[in-house]
Homo-oligomer: A and B are copies of this chain.
Amino acid sequence: MLSFVNDYCEGAHPEILRRLGENNFVKTVGYGEDALCAAAKDKIRAAFSCPDAEVYFLVGGTQTNAIVIDSVLAQYQGVVAAASGHINVHESGAVEACGRKILALPHHDGKLRAEDVKKLCAGFYADEAHEHMVFPGMVYISHPTEYGTLYTLDELKALRAVCDEYGMKLFLDGARLGYGLAAGGVTGADISRLCDVFYIGGTKVGALFGEAVVFKKECAPAHFVTLYKRRGAMLAKGWLLGLQFDALFTDGLYFKIARNAIDAAARIKAALREKGYEFLIDSPTNQIFVVMENTAATAFREKVACEVWERTDAEHTALRLVTSWATTEEDVDALIKTL
């Protein structure tokens, strides 16, 4: 059966496996202090135009979110996020397990609006009792969002402005960042300039696992290595992360393979549109939220594995189709043929 369930069901780009084989019996120093990690960090700094940034490699997204938020916030602060944010819904309370509160705001197709954040902050500081409340200390956004949508440059600038006004940090969860950048609009340089910290997802974009956290120099927590070791996130063979990111950021591989997912999604969306289907959300990235009549949806799912996103009304269902760096032209053709 065809599968468009998610973007993390395959292993890694073959170049990564090739290099794993090549490096397998090279005795390498542990804990990320190796040359592969150093090289990968340099390539990331170059790719994102942030020569002074501090880069660290962690293993997974939930881990990265919780550790970054916990490390950057003061104890009297919490993190502002869209109610639909991954940290607020699907991370088993990992942020709260670190003692931090999420200050949830309504989302708009997965996005947080600067004006909502501003209103929250203004209200907070206007409240005489605000010392009995959790201070807004950081804004968390995902880009692409959980709905596949992207912030525009203006939206990102507006969030930056609110952060500056109220002394907050801006943190961008880039679990699917490759797909976001490949879709155009905001660039890597925009992100490194406007955010205090962000991460570049490897797990969903060609790596076996791994997320690269990029801190603006002045925002990097002291002894971050100890902080993530303390949260159980340090890999003994840290070079596994360096090797993967070095491969991904050599000759723009990361962006090239991300592009594949966007192209595949575009072909599928065009075919769906042609057949008269509508979309629940207009996602420019690798997630497609197509609405079908219930019976059509059921029939479709017998041929194509994918997630039921929600019932949009009594007769209709929105399905989520996800493409990835590994989606083949053949699979896209086959999918289109089923329509």
Contact = CB atoms under 8 A, between A and B. Distances in A.
B235 A76 contact: no
Contacts of A20: 11, 17, 20, 208
Interface residues of A, number: 75
Contact of A233 (B21, B63, B78, B222): B63
A225 interface: yes
A25 B6 contact: no
Contacts of A225: 131
A71 B61 contact: no
A326 interface: yes
B236 A61 contact: yes
A6 B128 CA distance: 15
A135 interface: yes
A180 to B, nearest CB: 18
Contact of A24 (B10, B64, B135): B10
A32 to B, nearest CB: 11
Interface string A14-45: 10010011011111111100000000000000
Nearest to A18: B21
B90 A100 contact: no
A281 interface: no
Interface in A179-234: 203-204, 208-209, 222-223, 225-227, 229-234
Interface stretch (A91-99, A260-268, A269-277, A312-320): A91-99
A92 B67 contact: no
A104 B78 CA distance: 16
A129 interface: yes
A79 to B, nearest CB: 11
Contacts of A295: none
B91 A229 contact: yes
A3 B25 CA distance: 12
A334 interface: no
Given A24-B14, A209-B235, A76 B226 contact: yes
Contact of A229 (B59, B62, B209): B62
Given A25-B326, A99-B97, A90 B129 contact: yes
B11 A133 contact: no
Contacts of A26: 10
A261 to B, nearest CB: 15
Given A90-B133, A93-B101, 10 more contacts: A10-B26, A11-B240, A17-B24, A59-B235, A76-B226, A89-B133, A91-B132, A92-B230, A132-B229, A232-B232
17 contacts: A9-B30, A11-B237, A14-B24, A17-B24, A67-B232, A75-B230, A76-B230, A90-B132, A90-B133, A91-B229, A92-B131, A92-B134, A92-B227, A93-B230, A96-B100, A132-B226, A231-B231
Interface of A: 3, 5-6, 8-12, 14, 17, 20-21, 23-31, 59-64, 66-67, 70-71, 74-76, 78, 89-94, 96-102, 104, 129, 131-135, 203-204, 208-209, 222-223, 225-227, 229-237, 240, 326
